[in-house]
């Protein structure tokens, strides 16, 4: 089975709930994606940046318990994110991010996932772009912009970087909120179709409780999410992304390459989205970024 490489931030989440309680736990979008992959049985390696402190130790332990290999450049401190939850469980974030570059050994990675803050802001953004460019001849590329408005200037300042990564990617997942921020007033599905024309074989738009849509060569596929009682939405999109990657790997697309992915059947896409939605539903049903173990990867068709 192909190894999956993930590049991006790992940090400590400080979650402030409406009742005044505070919960601290490891997190970060790319780290959550890697965690999901590890729990789904994938061979996964996270390339990140950590301090030499108690938070870094907790993050390494958290990821290690889910079978994630961690390759971290040493930073002056470990990054943090404060997530303030509203009455519905939705989160607004404030960040203190630190990133140190390091040479990443991507040998053996049949799929590389990039995204979130590190892919958009200096000093990590150029490093992430260069890694995706270097990996593309031999690996599938997946991308999730995971926009964090609190850290960004305004859409035009970041749109070019996002679109350069979209052009390198084979599969892109973005929330409707990401797309509303990047392209105000434009239908998210129109953005998804435009991103496919830039090069991505599959563009998925997640819509929270309204499900998810995928723009494919065979048209738009829509799936509804399972009905669950929401504890909070922390890590839900990352669980969806991680499960989608696991589906791609398990079905053989990382081995057989982007040509096979470009001709993917809409029924297979629907099955992958349903698996990802099921896994994300487990995450939202319990507090924090706590993706399921072994659930969601049930391929109906494997490339031979």
pLDDT digits (tens, 9 = 90+) for 167-193: 999 999 999 999 999 999 999 999 999
Residue 293 lies in a domain: no
Q: Is there a domain that residue 44 lies in?
A: yes
The per-residue pLDDT for 151 is 80
Q: What pLDDT shows up at residue 1? A: 64
* Residue ranges of the chain whose pLDDT lies below 70: 1, 295-304
**Nearest by Cα to 170 from 262, 88, 297, 45:** 262
* Structural contact between residues 247 and 272, judged by C-beta atoms closer than 8 angstroms: yes
Tell me the CATH number at 220.
Answer: 3.40.1190.20
The three-class DSSP label of residue 113 is strand
Question: Average pLDDT over the chain, rounded to whole?
Answer: 90
Number of domains observed in the structure of the chain: 1
Is 292 part of any domain? no
Residue 82 pLDDT: 84
Residue 300 lies in a domain: no
Residue 123 lies in a domain: yes
- Beta bridge pairs of residue 16: 22, 84
Residue 58: per-residue pLDDT:
96
**Measured CA angle at 45 (ends 108, 71), to 5 deg:** 110
Domain assignment present for residue 290? The answer is no
Q: Could you tell me whether strands 11-16 and 140-144 are parallel, antiparallel, or unpaired per DSSP bridges?
A: unpaired
To the nearest 10°, report the CA torsion of 242, 121, 164, 211: 40
Cα(165)–Cα(32) distance, integer angstroms: 20
């Amino acid at each position: 089975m192909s190894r999956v490489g993930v590049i991006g931030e790992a940090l400590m989440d400080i979650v402030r709930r409406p009742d005044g309680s505070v919960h601290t736990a490891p997190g970060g979008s790319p780290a959550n994606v890697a965690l999901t992959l590890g729990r789904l049985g994938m061979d996964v390696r996270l390339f990140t940046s950590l301090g030499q402190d108690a938070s870094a130790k907790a993050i390494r332990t958290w990821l290690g318990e889910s079978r994630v290999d961690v390759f971290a450049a040493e930073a002056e401190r470990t990054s943090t994110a404060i997530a303030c939850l509203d009455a519905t469980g939705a989160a607004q974030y404030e960040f203190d991010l630190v990133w140190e570059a390091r040479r990443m050994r991507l040998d053996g990675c049949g799929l590389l996932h990039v995204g979130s803050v590190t892919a958009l802001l200096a000093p990590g953004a150029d490093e992430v772009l260069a890694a995706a460019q270097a990996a593309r001849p031999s690996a599938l590329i997946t991308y999730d912009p995971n926009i964090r408005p609190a850290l960004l200037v305004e859409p035009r300042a970041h749109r070019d970087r996002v679109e350069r990564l979209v052009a390198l990617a084979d599969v892109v997942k973005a929330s409707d909120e990401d797309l509303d921020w990047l392209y105000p007033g434009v239908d998210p599905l129109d953005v998804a179709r435009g991103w496919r024309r830039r090069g991505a074989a599959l563009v998925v738009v997640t819509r929270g409780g309204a499900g998810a849509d995928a723009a494919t060569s065979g048209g738009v596929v829509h799936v509804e999410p399972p009905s669950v009682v929401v504890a909070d939405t922390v890590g839900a999109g990352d669980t969806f992304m991680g499960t989608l990657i696991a589906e791609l790997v398990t079905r053989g697309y990382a081995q057989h390459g982007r040509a096979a992915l470009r001709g993917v059947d809409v029924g297979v896409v629907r099955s992958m989205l349903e698996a990802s939605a099921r896994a994300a539903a487990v995450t939202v049903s319990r507090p924090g970024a706590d993706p399921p173990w072994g659930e969601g990867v049930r391929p109906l068709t494997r490339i031979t």
